[in-house]
């Protein structure tokens, strides 16, 4: 008999499992705790289980330490101080710090049928191997009901069956006594509910053996994960979902008239009283299932189909709780072995027979009857393709019911007169004579007839072997497997028997079958273990980061919960949303800001912490090597505009880029004196509550211990290197962080910026002096001067922020406030003031109002050419005041023609152009005192000047490119604006236009702003317009398609989501229209609702943005 846990004193199955005694104990405890409430019950039961298993935990850890020591004495030291030396199938982990890999907790894998040998078990063992290699000191516990096999037998089978070698000392099997509770045969009635209840009993059995530090279910027992959260609220939970227990397709299949009413084993069974009862039962179960799914921390799904249904069922509750969305992680399949042993070549093509291979267990849902009918229909055509064709059915038989089903299928083949052309092969091995391997080698076509198969491992094996697939037009085979490669098909899809018959004909009649076989094999490469590991590790890193013991070991608070989170990770649901809100382009950083608020900080504290974090994770847009603007509304309603824009060095002069325009972009001459640190410190000095170091430390930790490369960052890295200059790998200073192993990091890889972390730590200790004086300043200046720059230590030391009075207008009774020049706030307010004279809520005038909005943009951008640094132009305040006067707006409306647009001189007689800026980031924070802050920071172009300081890791800006350069017209021949020429200590013009909206009674309503260069102005104005004029929520407003027209160039730019009729209407009015992708700008905002709660909205065009309230 197998040992129950591998310990000498616990070799009886019932020792810690759910025997009658422990069952009675549990029921007694539950009876008492029923009156105490769920929370108290969970805590009490958690305490009971933890105390009960404390001795066993100590024994297990001692046993594993002993086995590890024995292993090391026989095989040498396994561990190393560098994760790079621990090779996973995908290669060494990128960017992981040595401290990360020393996590030594217990990961519990809940897989009661671990010895089954199927595709689900391959996922389990691949996941464990990846976990062991990523965290060599972690202990992997497998909760299983396979009593008949010992640990050594299981590991041997894993090695021989899956070619996966696990590290024996750090894996242990705990044997469950109650697996029968989850068998379908135990629940002949109400199977869904019965098996789910059984999984609760089975999970209790597992936790009675040992509560883990992290609990992962790899079989689909969501109720077990809910019980874990109920009992141990601090234990992170993860699910790998192969298929949903119930789906919207299942619910629809009960109705014959629904789109899915003709599919599945329950098709059309919703009629009558019994059917109505079944509907109610299934809907009630679906509601419960969604409740359970919302408790899980990290959810992985095996296919697009599964992901879609899990999102439908679990998504609304998970979104409400700010939990991350379910991610798709394709499972590993035996692709490598098949490719090595089955060739797809002209020579192998000669061995192929006209065999149609269908591999699948003989269960009703596999729909063998459909395939037999289709094959009969195909053979009846008697085309050349039918000559010698045969159908090979290969599958396992589990019980008498399956045997009977095979017998019925044989009778059907006889009835359809295709008996001689159909072969049945039952329970064949994969390898060896007569095995599946042989059929994959000689067959020509791979068939799958199951409706809505959640994935389809057999279909992947078909493709890896070079078979041309004819599969059901649903589920995983349609969405993930038999898909196009380079715009060309890898197989055929069908639904009815006739469609399948046609698919067989087309596949067998292909003139060039080899070409499609090669595409199919290429498609299968997406399902290797290497690809699976790349996705598994980042998700496990989330769970490790969430583990409270690990957080305390790293001397952090909840601020580091998001350190390893992927693009869409959400925070744990707040208790309420009345304290404040944070919105930024990084969900991870927004979570840090939210935690600052929860810890007693205010909006200023949250702003500093969030902005510093954004500078770490989004160096393409922001960082302490740049500068920006912020608008602050104090708790007393008083506004301040804080200008921390970069300034030109003292040695700068008007003609410094004559003959060297590129110098304003890529050299040491390109950088203005950074203002970011002084700006943030200035905000904190005026409004902050928490200690400076406390609000800086989260960014230090993110930089030091790493963060996953997001989809947004990867996209911008590609954009910055589109011309072939991959400075991330070719420049050794960039490569230290972005290509530590010689290859640029990709999505999900962990990126650390340790030099930058040291710089931030210096700033945390010494304040702004740590940046503007001392070694950091010396290194930064030396790097710039080495690249032909003129900035001096004196320039840096003397930098000061500028506090200015903001500008404001009244718009439909609301007060709108923004920053004045040299920002673009007056331009955004001018647009709104002009369109205030039109009725924008009337949808019937949508085309006309879009034209009017476009014209308002053109007039306002014409005035922008007259803006500049008010420290150098005394008339600037008066000019902006005139721009925003109601009479000016009225005069412009009179000049707007409803029937046509005009040439450029109609709006701007001077024809001056202004340079665009691009690399910006926006953050909004608010709190319950009324303190509201909207801030834009920038390094100008993507990744600034592309100069990273070797010693400090600071990415320097190229803001000098925002000045106008004399004698250098733009591409349209227009001369630059003299008002924006370079002067020493001058600040260049900017498009930044943050806005704060107050109700007529003076209470704060909307705080908003954007990033995105010259498109900031129009994106902000339109978002405000949608909220105030069309009564949209903030998320609704941010989703709306946007238009942009800055007069020069004379182009009206529409996002793709704009409807064609609107665009054509403007074209008819004379506008030069064009389409662009959905990245005109990124808007962040927070709205305070009438009930005192906050609604945070983040840019939906950015995949990894986050707007959170607490």
Q: Which of 974, 920, 37, 97 is nearest to 550 (CA)?
A: 97
843 is known to lie in a ligand binding site: no
Q: In the numeric block, which tokens belong to residue 749?
A: 């890889």
**What distance in Å separates the CA atoms of residue 619 and residue 593, rounded to the nearest whole number?**
18
The CA–CA distances, whole Å, from 790 to 103, 667, 787, 820, 981 equal 47, 11, 9, 29, 18
939 is known to lie in a ligand binding site: yes
Q: In the numeric block, which tokens belong to residue 562?
A: 């998001």
Q: CB of 586 within 8 A of CB of 1102?
A: no
Count Cβ atoms below 10 Å from residue 678 Cβ, excluding itself: 21
Query: First-to-last CA distance in the chain?
Result: 54
Three-state SS for 390-416 is EEEEEECCCCHHHHHHHHHHHHHHHHC
645 is known to lie in a ligand binding site: yes
940 is known to lie in a ligand binding site: yes
Q: Which of 1104, 36, 1015, 23 is nearest to 570 (CA)?
A: 1104
Count Cβ atoms below 10 Å from residue 321 Cβ, excluding itself: 14
What is the CA angle 576-582-584, rounded to 5?
145
Q: CB of 34 within 8 A of CB of 226?
A: no
What residues have CB less than 8 Å from 520, skipping those under 6 apart?
A: 462, 463, 464, 466, 467, 468, 469, 490, 491
- Helices (DSSP H) in 232-271: which residue ranges? 248-253
781 is known to lie in a ligand binding site: no
897 is known to lie in a ligand binding site: no
**What distance in Å separates the CA atoms of residue 645 and residue 504, rounded to the nearest whole number?**
67
Q: In the numeric block, which tokens belong to residue 1084?
A: 């962040």
Q: Which of 611, 920, 926, 1007 is catalytic?
A: 920
How many Cα neighbours within 13 Å face the side chain of 962?
37
967 is known to lie in a ligand binding site: no
For the sheet containing 468-472, what is the strand order? 422-426, 390-395, 355-359, 445-448, 468-472, 491-494
Could you tell me whether strands 468-472 and 639-644 are parallel, antiparallel, or unpaired per DSSP bridges?
unpaired
Q: Which of 985, 690, 968 is nearest to 822 (CA)?
A: 985
Q: CB of 1058 within 8 A of CB of 993?
A: no
1013 is known to lie in a ligand binding site: yes
What residues have CB less than 8 Å from 723, skipping those under 6 apart?
A: none
Could you tell me whether strands 580-584 and 919-927 are parallel, antiparallel, or unpaired per DSSP bridges?
antiparallel
In the numeric block, the tokens 């029968």 are attached to 180
What residues have CB less than 8 Å from 832, skipping those under 6 apart?
A: 809, 811, 816, 1021, 1024, 1025
State residue 636 phi and psi, 5-degree precision.
-90, 5
Count Cβ atoms below 10 Å from residue 286 Cβ, excluding itself: 20
Is 721 labeled as catalytic in the residue annotation?
no
Q: In the numeric block, which tokens belong to residue 802?
A: 């500028």
Q: Which of 280, 278, 258, 254 is nearest to 268 (CA)?
A: 254
**What distance in Å separates the CA atoms of residue 337 and residue 524, rounded to the nearest whole number?**
12
**What distance in Å separates the CA atoms of residue 619 and residue 589, rounded to the nearest whole number?**
13
State residue 109 phi and psi, 5-degree precision.
-100, 115
State residue 491 phi and psi, 5-degree precision.
175, -165
**What distance in Å separates the CA atoms of residue 559 and residue 571, rounded to the nearest whole number?**
11
**What distance in Å separates the CA atoms of residue 312 and residue 307, rounded to the nearest whole number?**
8
DSSP single-letter state for residue 956: P
Sequence ranges of the binding site for L-glutamate: 645, 938-940, 962, 990-991, 1013
Active site residues per annotation: 920
Sequence ranges of the binding site: 645, 938-940, 962, 990-991, 1013
């Amino acid at each position: 008999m197998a040992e129950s846990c591998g310990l000498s004193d616990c070799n009886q199955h019932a020792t810690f499992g759910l025997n009658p005694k422990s069952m009675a104990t549990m029921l007694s405890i539950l009876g008492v705790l029923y009156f105490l409430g769920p929370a108290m019950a969970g805590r009490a039961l958690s305490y009971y289980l933890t105390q009960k298993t404390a001795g066993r935990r100590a024994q297990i850890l001692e046993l594993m330490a002993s086995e590890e020591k024995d292993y090391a004495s026989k095989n040498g030291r396994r561990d190393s101080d560098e994760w790079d030396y621990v090779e996973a199938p995908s290669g060494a982990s990128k960017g992981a710090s040595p401290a990360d890999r020393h996590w030594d907790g217990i990961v519990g894998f809940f897989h009661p049928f671990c010895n089954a040998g199927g595709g689900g078990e391959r996922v389990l063992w691949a996941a464990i191997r990846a976990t062991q290699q990523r965290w060599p000191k972690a202990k992997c516990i497998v909760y299983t009901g396979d009593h008949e096999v010992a640990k050594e037998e299981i590991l041997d089978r894993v090695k021989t069956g899956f070619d996966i070698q696990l590290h024996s000392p750090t894996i242990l099997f705990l044997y469950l006594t109650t697996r029968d509770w989850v068998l379908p045969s135990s629940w002949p009635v109400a199977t869904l509910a019965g098996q789910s209840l059984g999984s609760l009993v089975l999970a209790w059995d597992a936790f009675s053996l040992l509560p883990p530090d992290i609990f992962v279910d790899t079989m689909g027992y969501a109720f077990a994960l809910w019980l874990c959260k109920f009992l141990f609220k601090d234990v992170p939970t993860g699910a790998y979902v192969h298929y949903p227990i119930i789906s919207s397709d299942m619910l629809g299949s009960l109705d014959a008239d629904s789109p899915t009413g003709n599919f599945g084993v329950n098709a059309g069974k919703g009629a009558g009283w019994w059917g109505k009862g079944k509907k109610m039962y299934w809907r009630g179960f679906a509601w419960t299932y969604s409740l359970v799914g919302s408790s899980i921390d990290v959810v992985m799904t095996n296919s697009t189909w599964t992901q879609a249904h899990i999102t439908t069922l679990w998504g609304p509750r998970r979104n409400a709780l700010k939990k991350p969305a379910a991610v798709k992680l394709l499972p590993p399949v035996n692709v490598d072995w098949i490719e090595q042993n089955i060739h797809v070549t002209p020579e192998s093509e000669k061995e192929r027979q006209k065999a149609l291979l269908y591999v699948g267990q003989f269960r009703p849902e596999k729909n063998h009857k459909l395939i037999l009918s289709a094959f009969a229909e195909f053979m009846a055509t008697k085309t050349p393709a039918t000559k010698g064709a045969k159908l090979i059915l290969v599958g396992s038989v589990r019980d008498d019911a399956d045997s009977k089903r095979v017998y019925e299928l044989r009778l059907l083949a006889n009835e359809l007169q295709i008996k001689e052309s159909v072969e049945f092969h039952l329970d064949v091995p994969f390898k060896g004579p007569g095995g599946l391997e042989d059929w994959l080698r000689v067959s020509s076509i791979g068939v799958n007839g199951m409706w809505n198969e959640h994935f389809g491992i057999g279909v992947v094996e078909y493709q890896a072997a070079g078979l041309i697939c004819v599969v059901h037009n649903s589920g995983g085979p349609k969405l993930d497997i038999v898909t196009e490669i380079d715009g060309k098909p890898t197989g055929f899809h069908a639904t009815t028997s006739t469609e399948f018959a046609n698919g067989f004909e087309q596949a067998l009649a292909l003139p060039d079958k080899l070409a499609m076989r090669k595409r199919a094999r290429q498609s299968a490469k997406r399902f290797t273990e290497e690809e699976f590991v790349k996705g598994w590790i980042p998700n496990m890193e989330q769970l490790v980061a969430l583990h409270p013991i690990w957080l305390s070991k790293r001397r952090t608070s909840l601020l580091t919960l998001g350190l390893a989170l992927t693009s869409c990770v959400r925070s744990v649901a707040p208790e309420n949303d009345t304290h404040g809100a944070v919105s930024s382009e990084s969900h991870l950083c927004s979570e840090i800001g939210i935690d600052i608020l929860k810890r007693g900080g205010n909006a200023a504290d949250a702003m500093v912490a969030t902005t510093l974090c954004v500078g770490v994770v989004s160096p393409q847009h922001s960082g302490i090597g740049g500068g920006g603007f912020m608008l602050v509304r104090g708790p007393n309603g008083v506004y301040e505009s804080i200008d921390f824009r970069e300034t030109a060095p003292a040695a700068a002069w008007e003609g410094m880029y004559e003959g060297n325009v590129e110098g304003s972009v890529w050299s040491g001459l390109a950088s203005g004196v950074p203002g970011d640190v002084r700006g943030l410190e200035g905000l904190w000095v005026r409004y902050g509550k928490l200690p400076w170091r406390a609000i800086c430390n989260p960014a230090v930790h993110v930089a030091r211990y790493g963060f996953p490369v997001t989809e947004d960052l990867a996209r911008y890295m590609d954009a910055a290197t589109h011309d072939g200059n991959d400075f991330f790998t070719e420049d050794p200073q960039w490569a230290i962080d972005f290509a530590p192993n010689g290859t640029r990091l990709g999505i999900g890889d962990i990126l650390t910026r340790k030099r930058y972390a040291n710089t931030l730590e210096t700033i945390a200790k010494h304040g702004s002096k740590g940046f503007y004086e001392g070694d950091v300043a010396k290194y930064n200046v030396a790097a710039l001067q080495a690249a032909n720059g003129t900035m001096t230590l004196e320039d840096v030391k003397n930098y000061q922020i500028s506090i200015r009075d903001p500008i404001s207008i009244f718009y439909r009774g609301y007060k709108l406030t923004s920053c004045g020049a040299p920002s673009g706030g007056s331009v955004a307010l001018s647009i709104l003031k002009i369109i205030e004279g039109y009725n924008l809520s009337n949808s019937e005038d949508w085309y006309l109002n879009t034209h009017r909005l476009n014209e308002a943009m053109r007039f306002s951008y014409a005035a922008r050419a007259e803006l500049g640094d008010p420290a150098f132009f005394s008339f600037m305040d008066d000019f902006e005041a005139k721009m925003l006067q109601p009479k000016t707006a009225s005069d412009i409306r009179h000049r707007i023609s409803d029937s046509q647009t005009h040439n450029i001189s109609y709006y701007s007689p001077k024809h001056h152009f202004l340079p665009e800026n691009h690399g910006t980031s926006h953050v909004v924070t608010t709190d319950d005192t009324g303190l509201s802050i909207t801030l834009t920071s920038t390094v100008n172009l993507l990744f600034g000047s592309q100069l990273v300081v070797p010693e400090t890791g600071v990415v320097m800006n190229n803001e000098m490119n925002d000045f106008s350069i004399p004698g250098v017209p733009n591409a349209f021949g227009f001369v630059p604006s003299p008002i924006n020429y370079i002067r020493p200590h001058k600040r260049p013009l900017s498009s930044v236009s943050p806005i704060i909206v107050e109700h007529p009674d003076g209470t704060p309503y909307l705080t908003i702003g954007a990033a995105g260069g010259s498109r900031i102005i129009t994106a902000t104005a339109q978002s405000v317009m949608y909220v105030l004029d069309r009564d949209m929520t903030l998320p609704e407003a941010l989703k709306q398609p946007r238009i942009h027209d800055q007069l020069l160039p004379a182009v009206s730019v529409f996002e793709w989501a704009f409807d064609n009729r609107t665009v054509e209407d403007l074209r008819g009015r004379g506008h030069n229209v064009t389409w662009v992708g959905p990245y005109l700008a990124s808007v962040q905002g927070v709205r305070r609702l009438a009930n005192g709660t906050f609604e945070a909205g983040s840019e939906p065009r950015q995949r990894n943005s986050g707007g959170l309230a607490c």
